Structure 1
Amino acid sequence: MLALLSPGLLPGVAAAVLLYAVGLAIYRRLFHPLARIPGPLLPAITTLYQSYHNCHYYQKIAELHKIYGPVIRITPNEIHLSDPENYDKIYYMGTRFWKSPIFYGAFAIPYSTFSTPSNEVHKHRRGMINPMFSRKMVLDLEEVVQEKAHKLTKRMEAGILDKKPVDLHHGFRSVSVDVITDYAFDRSYNLLDTPDFGKKFFALKCVEQIEEVKERLADGKLNQTRPTIFSELLNPKNNDGLPIPTSWQLKDECYSMLAAAADTTGNALSTACYHTLADREIYARLRDELVAKFPDSNQTLNFVALEKLPYLTGVIKEGLRLSFGVPGRLPRVTPEGGATFNGYFVPEGTIVGMSSWLMHRNEDVFPDPMKFDPARWLDPENSRRLDRYLVAFGKGSRQCVGMPLAYCELYVTLGTFFRRFSDMELEVFETTPEDLELEDFFSSYYVAGKKWFKAVGHK
């Protein structure tokens, strides 16, 4: 474009661009509707500040809150909150705050229930999926989770016999992926059967599998005694007269479910297991609880029985708390009429968000927040209070639809794993707390170059 301009015009164009940039910066800093919101200069005038910090911006935001208070401006048009009491003002059942279409549109899965900005459209889409993730359905299909949990223990047993460490980081993620693909397609990816736990599983073939489900449904060959997520979504009886989703629309649903399964649940399993193995007192206390309830180490551990164990519950909730689910912010659009947070009014259309990273590390709610402490959940009254601030799955009408299934995976997998290896024969292999540092790619990912969580066993 500049090559088409006369050389004599270039200085004028450059001056105009510079003048515009300066004017825009002055407007955003002094006259913008968010000009009164505390925060440093750069994020108020440009999104480049956010880009510079990239996948560690959630950590920088935490630093800024310590300096500027509970309400800060993190981009020209977005604010971030740290006061836990504000969470229920945004993320609640029937919320009027919409998901930010710009932020969630960047995921390039526009047809997924997860990415839908409109609360009304989301309500319809989620209504079709909800029955597949109900507690009743999870209990009916618990055997799927049990099978994957036992596969993982077999892999750990093989590692002990071979005297080799086992990559539990990918092992636990494989449990979650194998469960959700079995749930969705009645055809598991079987990552637990691969030597490296299927590290390259993101090279997915979702569309092909959805097409296969459609063909099996059309031919009457779909096993109707074993409903799956996509057989239900593709069944005309469940769509209230609306068009049946296309394969490419369901591909978006598939990607979002797989990412949630592998990242949120898989990371929580890894975090809980790592900290339990790293602390012999926690390991022993969990072992004693499991042995007392299930004397036979080879018996199938029932989900309903497991979720009644208080110390295992504490281990699971600490795993969820310190894996954070989504560590970064969950941006929402302020509805008509605006909103007030900690004395600051924000007009409608303003992007506002909070993060599990700050909620779960709030010292007033969770004393010594970075300590993995299952005992903090043992007192029933205190546990109910803490539950309000545990937001690994979000809250409200946009809370993760797969939460009941995730809890079943957490209880069955960890319960089975630690009951089977209750004789203190496992320990962490080389991984340190520093290796558990997270990067925010919306979901939590461990930093490249760090050591994956592995465990080694001794007979």
Structure 2
Amino acid sequence: MYSSNMWDIQLPSITQLISGILVLTVANVLWTLLYRVYFHPLAHIPGPKLAAGTFLYQTYFSLVNGSRFYAQIGKLHEAYGPVVRITPDEIHLSDPANYETIYHVGSKYAKYPRYYNAFSLKYSSFTTCPNDVHKLRRGPLNQFFSRKMVLELEDVVQSKAQKLCNLVTQKLSVGQAVDLHHAFRAVSIDVITEYGFNKCYDLLDKPDLGRHFFLMVRGIGPSLWVYQQWPQLQIANNLPPSVLKKMSPELAQVLTLQEHAREQIVDVKADLDAGLTKHNARQTIFHGILTPSPEEGYVVPSVDDIKDEAYGILAAAADTTGNGMTVAAYHVVNNPEIYKKLRAELKTAFPDPDARLNFTELEKLPYLTGVVKEGLRLSFGVISRLARVVPEGGATFNGHYVPAGTAVSMSSWVLHQDPNYFPAPQEFNPERWSKASPAEQRHMEKGFVPFGKGSRICVGMPLAYCELYVTIAMLFHRFEKLKGNQLTAEDLVYDDYFASHHPINATKFHVIKG
């Protein structure tokens, strides 16, 4: 007979079970770290071992003491060279010669899902990763942001720049300072909402010049880096908006801005469904997206899908162009010699003080062009890195082979400060452009990427250039003596929320009568 004791099973205690789980967890973590640092296909790429071992290296510099991972990447290149491993599966490049390899028309380098999915914009062409899908979604936008369309609708830009100058006149006449930081951004949003929705937000008429709106846009920042670190947390986006808003002030701001965007799309769709255009207005960007396309494979998206596209366009307009104008104007106002030369060129080209400053004529002015380009160069457009996936067959960068599937990125922060392309790179110097030979111009253009390049170049670039030229020219053509406030180094530093943002409590750029 078998003893009953033979069937007795000694179950582990709860303490033993928890201890075993902890041991296995620690062992798994240690093995993952060892694998990433010493055995991973990217183990041969230079860089700090902590960055190779864990995504927390990136997250720390993105969330602690401001979002400054972009600056840390610059320091890593100084220490390790032109190819640096910045996360377990991503390398960053600093050599501008590699830019054309990755970001060219027809590139097979798709956007990196872990990076772009964190924006939580499932439909937006900006965050669409597969190149073939992006082509379909981007197509309807291209015609509305083409140079031809921008020139046809230049009056929209002219009217907003004129309104800005009228505001400056009004404020200065009663001895008040003008908040150009928010005013320039208001110009950009008022242009894009009239241009895109036929329903201007009129932020230039608001007492705070839209400051609350821009805080909403900024709200996406922290959640972006959290979702990159822990992609699984994006499941929270499926919760009711009312719950999400209570969970996080930042998410509340994002959701409110998305609701703004959705309202505009609903209005446009109702307009189309009724077979007419409200306000006797023209076709807009979103009329075009909601209209069936002959392009094979194009499916008219839903209102909720287009909401993502609208949100992406609003967020892009909120800071990139406005920041370029702010940087340009700040340096002009605080450098009397630059101010004098710019005024002289504008007054020579347009001697009539009431002349219309046409975009096509302004583009021909070399010194103004230098001011615009330096404003873009030192505002960096998108300060964050642009992450792509190495296609089948792998790639070699500066002697380092990386396999297919590797994330590879480059950034304007590094390229725009490369002294091989821009001597004395931190100096705002319009003459580096206005006095450059054609060969020197072509050389600088290789390192000048405020809008990116290739198939994924910023769709709004033609409109942005029109806003920059017209607004900067009109302001300094009209006002002979503007005096700027003094800003500290910390006021001028950038936080990386994809676009460049100054710290939330930083003193903003104002002008008074000089």
Tell me how far apart the structure 1 counterparts of residues 304 and 293 of structure 2 sit (CA, whole Å): 20
**Which of 304, 327, 347 is residue 248 of structure 1 equivalent to?**
304
Q: Deviations over 1:290-349 (max 9, x none)?
A: 000111222221111111000000000000000001112111000000000000000000
SS of residue in 2 equivalent to 1:127 = helix
Cross-structure match for 2:16: 8
Tell me how far apart the structure 2 counterparts of residues 242 and 393 of structure 1 sit (CA, whole Å): 26
Cross-structure match for 1:351: 407
Cross-structure match for 2:261: 206
Q: Say if 1:5 and 1:95 are closer, same or farther in 2 by CA, change over 3 A.
A: farther
Cross-structure match for 1:399: 457
SS of residue in 2 equivalent to 1:325 = coil
Q: Say if 1:241 and 1:51 are closer, same or farther in 2 by CA, change over 3 A.
A: closer
Tell me how far apart the structure 2 counterparts of residues 232 and 352 of structure 1 sit (CA, whole Å): 34
Residue 103 of structure 1 pairs with residue 115 of structure 2: yes
Tell me how far apart the structure 1 counterparts of residues 428 and 79 of structure 2 sit (CA, whole Å): 27
SS of residue in 1 equivalent to 2:504 = coil
| Bigger shift: residues 120-129 or 392-401 | 120-129
Tell me how far apart the structure 1 counterparts of residues 293 and 18 of structure 2 sit (CA, whole Å): 64
5 Å matches for 1:233-382?
A: 233-237=289-293, 242-378=298-434, 379-381=436-438, 382=440
Q: Say if 1:241 and 1:344 are closer, same or farther in 2 by CA, change over 3 A.
A: closer
5 Å matches for 1:150-189?
A: 150-189=162-201
Q: Deviations over 1:59-84 (max 9, x none)?
A: 11111111111111111111111111
SS of residue in 2 equivalent to 1:114 = coil
Tell me how far apart the structure 2 counterparts of residues 244 and 311 of structure 1 sit (CA, whole Å): 45
What is the deviation of 1:434?
A: 3.9
Cross-structure match for 2:95: 83
Cross-structure match for 1:50: 58
Paired letter, 1:362: D
Paired letter, 1:199: R
> Does the Cα contact within 8 Å between 2:483 and 2:511 map onto a contact in 1?
yes
Tell me how far apart the structure 2 counterparts of residues 450 and 242 of structure 1 sit (CA, whole Å): 45
> Does the Cα contact within 8 Å between 2:198 and 2:281 map onto a contact in 1?
no
Tell me how far apart the structure 2 counterparts of residues 321 and 265 of structure 1 sit (CA, whole Å): 12
Q: Deviations over 1:370-393 (max 9, x none)?
A: 000000001241223212221000
Tell me how far apart the structure 1 counterparts of residues 13 and 458 of structure 2 sit (CA, whole Å): 53
**Which of 262, 271, 277 is residue 222 of structure 1 equivalent to?**
277
What is the deviation of 1:5?
A: 7.9
Tell me how far apart the structure 2 counterparts of residues 234 and 5 of structure 1 sit (CA, whole Å): 62
SS of residue in 2 equivalent to 1:21 = helix
Q: Say if 1:86 and 1:346 are closer, same or farther in 2 by CA, change over 3 A.
A: same
Paired letter, 2:155: E
What is the deviation of 1:457?
A: 1.4
What is the deviation of 1:35?
A: 0.5
TM-score, normalised to structure 2, is 0.86
SS of residue in 2 equivalent to 1:327 = coil
Paired letter, 1:387: E
| Bigger shift: residues 274-283 or 380-389 | 380-389
> Does the Cα contact within 8 Å between 1:233 and 1:239 map onto a contact in 2?
no
SS of residue in 1 equivalent to 2:189 = helix
Cross-structure match for 2:46: 38
In the alignment, structure 2 segments of 5+ residues that lack a partner are 1-11, 217-255
SS of residue in 2 equivalent to 1:368 = coil
What is the deviation of 1:214?
A: 0.9
Residue 191 of structure 1 pairs with residue 203 of structure 2: yes
SS of residue in 2 equivalent to 1:331 = strand
SS of residue in 2 equivalent to 1:451 = coil
> Does the Cα contact within 8 Å between 1:159 and 1:457 map onto a contact in 2?
no
> Does the Cα contact within 8 Å between 1:72 and 1:79 map onto a contact in 2?
yes
> Does the Cα contact within 8 Å between 2:189 and 2:201 map onto a contact in 1?
yes
In the alignment, structure 1 segments of 5+ residues that lack a partner are none
TM-score, normalised to structure 1, is 0.96
> Does the Cα contact within 8 Å between 2:121 and 2:308 map onto a contact in 1?
yes
SS of residue in 1 equivalent to 2:31 = helix
SS of residue in 2 equivalent to 1:8 = helix
Paired letter, 1:61: I
Paired letter, 1:400: C
Tell me how far apart the structure 1 counterparts of residues 403 and 374 of structure 2 sit (CA, whole Å): 37
Cross-structure match for 1:390: 448
Tell me how far apart the structure 2 counterparts of residues 343 and 416 of structure 1 sit (CA, whole Å): 49
Cross-structure match for 2:251: none
> Does the Cα contact within 8 Å between 2:346 and 2:477 map onto a contact in 1?
yes
What is the deviation of 1:187?
A: 0.7
> Does the Cα contact within 8 Å between 1:263 and 1:445 map onto a contact in 2?
yes
Tell me how far apart the structure 2 counterparts of residues 327 and 263 of structure 1 sit (CA, whole Å): 11
Q: Say if 1:216 and 1:5 are closer, same or farther in 2 by CA, change over 3 A.
A: farther
Cross-structure match for 1:22: 30
What is the deviation of 1:221?
A: 2.7
Tell me how far apart the structure 2 counterparts of residues 52 and 236 of structure 1 sit (CA, whole Å): 45
Cross-structure match for 2:478: 420
Tell me how far apart the structure 1 counterparts of residues 187 and 179 of structure 2 sit (CA, whole Å): 12
Cross-structure match for 1:431: 487
SS of residue in 2 equivalent to 1:427 = strand
Residue 447 of structure 1 pairs with residue 459 of structure 2: no
What is the deviation of 1:206?
A: 1.1
> Does the Cα contact within 8 Å between 1:128 and 1:239 map onto a contact in 2?
no
Tell me how far apart the structure 2 counterparts of residues 455 and 250 of structure 1 sit (CA, whole Å): 38
Paired letter, 1:141: L
* Residues paired across the two proteins, number: 453
- Between structure 1 and structure 2, the one with the greater Rg is 2
What is the deviation of 1:198?
A: 1.1
**Which of 128, 139, 144 is residue 151 of structure 2 equivalent to?**
139
Tell me how far apart the structure 1 counterparts of residues 36 and 108 of structure 2 sit (CA, whole Å): 27
> Does the Cα contact within 8 Å between 1:128 and 1:238 map onto a contact in 2?
no
Percent of matched pairs sharing the same residue: 51
What is the deviation of 1:243?
A: 3.0
> Does the Cα contact within 8 Å between 1:431 and 1:454 map onto a contact in 2?
no
Q: Say if 1:198 and 1:225 are closer, same or farther in 2 by CA, change over 3 A.
A: closer
Tell me how far apart the structure 1 counterparts of residues 132 and 361 of structure 2 sit (CA, whole Å): 37
Residue 232 of structure 1 pairs with residue 314 of structure 2: no
What is the deviation of 1:245?
A: 1.3
> Does the Cα contact within 8 Å between 2:47 and 2:76 map onto a contact in 1?
yes
Q: Say if 1:198 and 1:63 are closer, same or farther in 2 by CA, change over 3 A.
A: same
Q: Deviations over 1:81-140 (max 9, x none)?
A: 111111111111100100001110000111011000011111111111111011111010
> Does the Cα contact within 8 Å between 1:211 and 1:247 map onto a contact in 2?
yes
> Does the Cα contact within 8 Å between 1:165 and 1:429 map onto a contact in 2?
no
